[in-house]
Amino acid sequence: MSTDVRAGHVVAGFRVVSMIGEGATGTVYLADEPTGDRKVALKLLTPDLARDERFRRRFLRETELAAKLDHPNVVRTLASGNEDGTLYLAMEYVEGRDLRDVLRREGRLEPDRAVGVLTQVAAALDTAHDAGLVHRDVKPANVLISTRRDGDRAYVCDFGLARHISSASSLTTDSGFVGTIDYVPPEQVEGGQIDGRADVYSLGCVLFECLAGTRPFDRDSELAVVFAHLNEPPPRPSEIRPHLPKALDTVFEVALAKSPDDRYSSCAELIEAARAALAGKTVTRPRRRRRRYLAAGAVALLVAAGAATIGVVVTRGGSSSPKATAVQRPPEITQTSIAGARLGRPARYYKKRFGGWRAAELTQTHYPTLAFQQREVAVYFPAKGKPAHILTTWNRTNKTAQGIGPCSTLAQMRKVYGNRVTATWAGSSPNGKVHWSWALGRNLLFMTQDRKTIADVVLYEGVPVEKHGGSPQDYANYVGAVETACK
């Protein structure tokens, strides 16, 4: 199927009304839901992306994760899939203009308006980060603005899609760059570890453009832009727009720092610093976070070293010295349980055991789900009222008896288990060269999202093959791939 479709054409049940816009990754159409109750924005990705097997697999997984986001400033993902060889993404339709168009037509924004719009964007991004999702393509074109009587309402779109098209491994194709590189963080160019601070950098670039009227690294060529992101110090907005307070210079020194450790820890922290600077307050650079992370790592090592045995001192009368009794702590991850919970139990069992919960459903597999965010555990059921058949955890304190769990490295996993852990067929690329899941025994999977670190662990029994047309391991891999990653 071509991405060039006409009005009246039906794609995945959505009836196309008209084309809204097009870009490097595909074409967006205004369409009607099958029921006709509301309009949707239907994005059809370019054929080149659909033919990329690795992209197609990850697109389907991560749009599933994006569909879980529930925030008033996020454009909701309604459906996604593969229709006759074309990847599609159906999103909530928002009437308004994108921030790119606003800046093109109106020039730089008044500071209060810029901060007001990007405060909403920051809230949406931080919520996504809390859910384990990094946008990776924060730019004006992905911020929609709906003007209301009470002011601008901002929405962030293209969650779940941006991660791939702007990742370091796919910045270029045979035809050149995919998307824009004007807002890309250095670590993304270098292929480094990506977390929410990448979005902080990109949001800093967007804020700079809103206030100064120009992109922070506006150069004559794309190569020069990339070089500037990697090597040149952030520009000073007060030198471009003398009416802006010099305190903003410090804000952008931090927001656009080359190392993620030197940036603001959240998007909200960046916007609050900018708000303070614009209000005439003195803004100081936050303490370097690298030391804090090193200290946290040292504490984690000490905790891990002492977790296997817990000394219990019992003193009861007499003059003899107290004696320590070693109590062995049972592992949180085994071939039959996670955090002490076993499979095959009804929903009420897990609610009672883990406490506060949130119900959801995977749209591709229609699995009812209970997510226990405080415990960082989720339970999946083959159907409503049926016993659980998949348990997952992204809690880094949950470990096997050998000390392997979420946030452990793959190198640590291989060192401990050797050839006892094997790459799964359902979690590998068609050529068998790329793997994102490993099996230990018959019921345990270690999942990764960056091929370096275990993102989450899956315990599964699976559902009957004849019911869903796939193997138990196949569906366990799918669930693990869309699960929240450890932090």
pLDDT tens digits, the chain, 487 residues: what are they?
Answer: 556 688 888 988 899 999 988 776 788 999 998 777 789 999 998 887 777 777 777 787 778 777 878 899 999 888 888 888 888 999 989 988 999 999 999 999 999 999 999 999 999 999 888 877 888 889 999 999 998 777 899 999 887 554 443 333 333 433 333 336 899 999 888 777 788 999 999 999 999 999 999 999 998 888 888 889 999 999 999 999 999 999 999 999 999 999 999 999 999 999 999 999 999 887 777 765 433 333 333 223 222 333 332 222 222 233 333 333 333 456 889 988 999 899 989 999 999 888 888 887 765 566 789 988 888 999 998 888 889 999 999 999 999 989 999 999 999 999 999 989 998 877 777 677 778 899 998 889 999 877 789 999 999 985 443 444 456 777 788 888 878 888 7
List C-alpha distances in Å: 318 to 165, 312, 313, 321, 451.
Answer: 71, 18, 15, 9, 57
Catalytic residue among 32, 98, 126, 137: 137
- Which of 61, 92, 123 terminates a domain? The answer is 92
In a domain, 199, yes or no: yes
> Do residues 39 and 106 both lie within one domain?
no
137 noted as active-site residue: yes
Domain boundary, last residue among 92, 125, 141 = 92
**Which pLDDT does position 1 carry in this prediction?**
57
Say if residue 56 is in the same domain as residue 29.
yes
- Look at residue 487 and tell me if it is in a domain: no
pLDDT at 313: 26
Residue 1 forms part of a structural domain: no
Whether residue 432 is found in the same domain as residue 375: yes
**Are 156 and 123 spatial neighbours (Cβ–Cβ below 8 Å)?**
no
Residue 302, domain member (yes or no): yes
Counting every residue written for the chain, the total comes to 487
Lookup: tokens for 441: 């025994």
The confidence score (pLDDT) of residue 292 equals 32
Query: Which among 33, 35, 38 is positioned nearest to 16, based on CA atoms?
Result: 33
Which amino acid, one-letter code, is at 302? L
The b-or-e profile of 229-262 (16+ CB within 10 A means b, else e) is: beeeebbbbbeeeeebbebbbbbbbbbbbbebeb
Structure tokens at 309: 């045995």
**Does residue 3 lie in a domain region?**
no
Domains contained in the chain, number: 4
Where do the DSSP E strands lie in 72-209?
A: 77-83, 86-92, 97-98, 143-148, 151-156, 172-173, 176-177
**In a 3-state reduction of DSSP, which class is residue 408?**
coil
Letter for the amino acid at 87?
L
- Residue 223 domain boundaries: 97-286
Same domain for 392 and 420, yes or no, is yes
**Residue 84 domain flag:** yes
| Residues in Cβ contact with 383 at an 8 Å cutoff, skipping those fewer than 6 apart | 368
| Angle (CA) 342 62 96, round 5° | 130
Calpha distance 428→434 (Å, rounded) = 6
| Helix spans in 107-169 (H) | 111-130, 162-165
- Rounded to the nearest 5 degrees, what angle is found at the Cα of 26, between the Cα atoms of 25 and 31? 145
Same domain, 168 and 271: yes
**167 contacts: CB under 8 Å, gap ≥ 6:** 136, 188, 194
CATH of the domain at 205: 1.10.510.10
Strand partners, 18: 30
Q: Nearest 10 degrees: CA dihedral of 23, 25, 26, 31? A: -90
Residue 418: what are its φ and ψ, rounded to 5°?
Answer: 60, -135
Domain boundary pick from 74, 92, 110: 92
Reduced to 3 states (helix: H, G, I; strand: E, B; else coil), residue 169 is helix
Same domain, 107 and 239: yes
Other C-beta atoms closer than 10 Å to the C-beta of 459 total: 24
In a domain, 103, yes or no: yes
The answer on 235 and 107 residing in a single domain is yes
Please give the helix or strand (H or E) that residue 188 lies within, else none: helix 186-190
Q: What is the pLDDT of residue 173?
A: 38
Q: Could you tell me if residue 5 is inside a domain?
A: no
